[in-house]
């Protein structure tokens, strides 16, 4: 970290009294570790520059929650180009795959990814054809396991993710553990392959092995629009959108896992960004109905969302049942077993779970 810089972050705080999301600019001065805050809407100083030992430079990254004088602030964006440039350039990217044998574990794996401090840049579920799998694993052509591997990889849906963090490539390989599931169980029992893998070839997850392969593999999955079929089935299903605040806060995996634990099948997942115009169209039914419509549009276009296709008998009604009342405070009292109640453990989580939506 350079000796004397001012880093700026856009942070949000849910004002529980007003039920409003308030935005501030949080500044961190690297020379002495002091912090300062500006109230964006009212264009005034909110917190004068002061020492705040509870915050260090390592705590400041997108999606992090920091507490300043009992306010839980979520870092939703960089506050200026300088900060963005300084912090993004040292981040590494890697491709992660959730293979067919672990597709149903996407919630648990996503949760582990967020808990390990990764940011998910892109994510989509898809089908590989046999030819796609052969191309992706071309470097293994001729090896004894090549046929079994490509047959397996095209045998069911998979999830591709772009993971971003310092040292993402090695960090993800450490989290997934040794290639062989049995070896993983012996040597790294808490690794993802140990927990969710099946055998030598069917090993739950993949990770790029170098910056060059990460580049090639990310391009393969994310820069060929329309090449891979989606996994959505479009029957017996409902749509669940995990909104930007939840995604940024890193609890999307826990929510997907809760949905699965409730007996639903999560058959498709895709991360995407809505423009303001698209968000306004998507939420149009609430226009003039809910007073917070504008706020909802703003939030919906405020960062990446995750769209899920969730399947079950009578999926729309069943999903609404397990999600519970819109307000998690009410959910805790009235329907303690619901997803909103379970994820409403504290103020921060409360506010995220209120932004989980389900609709047709
Ligand atoms: P992955 O990390 O996706 O990279 C190549 C894949 O080939 C590997 O995970 C396994 O799924 C498979 N693989 C690698 N080595 C072997 C092996 N010796 N026997 C069977 N499958 C293997």
Collect contacts of 14-21 with beta carbons under 8 A, ≥24 apart: 14/72, 14/347, 14/348, 14/350, 14/351, 16/347, 19/292, 20/295, 21/295, 21/299, 21/351
191 Cα–ligand 1 center, Å: 16
* Beta sheet of 158-165, edge-to-edge order: 205-207, 92-98, 158-165, 119-126, 265-273, 304-311, 237-242, 356-359
The predicted structure's pLDDT at residue 3: 54
> Smallest Cα–Cα separation from 253: which of 326, 163, 184?
163
Rounded to an integer, the average pLDDT of 284-299 is 86
Q: Which of the listed residues 159, 179, 217 should we mutate to test ligand 1's pocket, taking the one with most ligand atoms within 8 A of CB?
A: 179
Pocket of ligand 1 (CB under 6 A): 140, 145, 149, 179, 200-201, 203, 206
List residues bridging with 155 in a β-sheet.
none
Among 69-73, 107-111, 130-134, the range scoring the smallest mean pLDDT is 69-73
Q: Which of the listed residues 170, 191, 203 should we mutate to test ligand 1's pocket, taking the one with most ligand atoms within 8 A of CB?
A: 203
Q: Is the pLDDT of residue 33 over 60?
A: yes
Question: Going by C-beta distance under 8 Å and a sequence separation of 6 or more, which residues neighbour residue 141?
Answer: 134
pTM of the model: 0.78
Q: Is the pLDDT of residue 12 over 80?
A: yes
Among 208-222, 256-270, 285-299, 309-323, the range scoring the smallest mean pLDDT is 285-299
Question: Going by C-beta distance under 8 Å and a sequence separation of 6 or more, which residues neighbour residue 171?
Answer: 116, 118, 165
């Amino acid at each position: 970290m350079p000796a004397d810089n001012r880093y700026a972050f856009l942070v949000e705080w849910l004002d529980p009294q007003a039920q409003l999301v308030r935005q501030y600019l949080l500044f961190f001065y690297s020379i002495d570790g002091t912090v300062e805050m500006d109230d964006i809407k009212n264009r005034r100083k909110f917190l004068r520059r002061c020492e705040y030992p509870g915050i260090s430079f390592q705590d400041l990254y997108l999606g992090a929650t920091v507490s300043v004088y009992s306010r839980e602030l979520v870092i939703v964006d960089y506050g200026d180009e300088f900060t963005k440039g300084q912090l993004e350039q040292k981040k590494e990217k890697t491709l992660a795959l959730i293979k067919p044998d672990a597709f149903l574990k996407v919630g648990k794996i996503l949760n582990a990814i967020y808990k390990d401090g990764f940011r998910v840049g892109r994510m989509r579920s898809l089908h590989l054809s046999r030819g796609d799998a052969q191309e992706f694993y071309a470097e293994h052509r001729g090896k004894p396991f090549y046929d079994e591997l490509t047959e397996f990889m095209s045998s069911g849906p998979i999830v591709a993710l772009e993971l971003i963090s310092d040292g993402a490539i090695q960090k993800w390989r450490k989290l997934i553990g040794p290639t062989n599931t049995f070896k993983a169980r012996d040597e790294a029992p808490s690794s993802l392959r140990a927990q969710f893998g099946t055998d030598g070839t069917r090993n739950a997850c993949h990770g790029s092995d170098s910056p060059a392969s990460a580049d090639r593999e990310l391009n393969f999955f994310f820069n060929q629009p329309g090449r891979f079929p989606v996994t959505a089935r479009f029957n017996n299903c409902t749509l669940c959108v995990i909104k930007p605040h939840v995604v940024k806060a890193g609890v999307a995996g826990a929510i997907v896992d809760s949905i699965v634990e409730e007996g639903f099948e999560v058959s498709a997942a895709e991360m995407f960004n809505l423009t303001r115009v698209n968000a306004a169209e998507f939420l149009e039914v609430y226009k003039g109905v809910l007073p917070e419509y504008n706020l909802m549009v703003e939030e919906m276009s405020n960062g990446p969302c995750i769209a899920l296709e969730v399947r079950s008998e009578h999926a729309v009604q069943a999903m609404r049942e397990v999600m519970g009342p819109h307000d998690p405070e009410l959910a805790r009292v009235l329907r303690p077993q619901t997803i909103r109640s379970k994820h409403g453990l504290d103020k921060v989580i409360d506010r995220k779970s209120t932004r989980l939506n389900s609709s047709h």
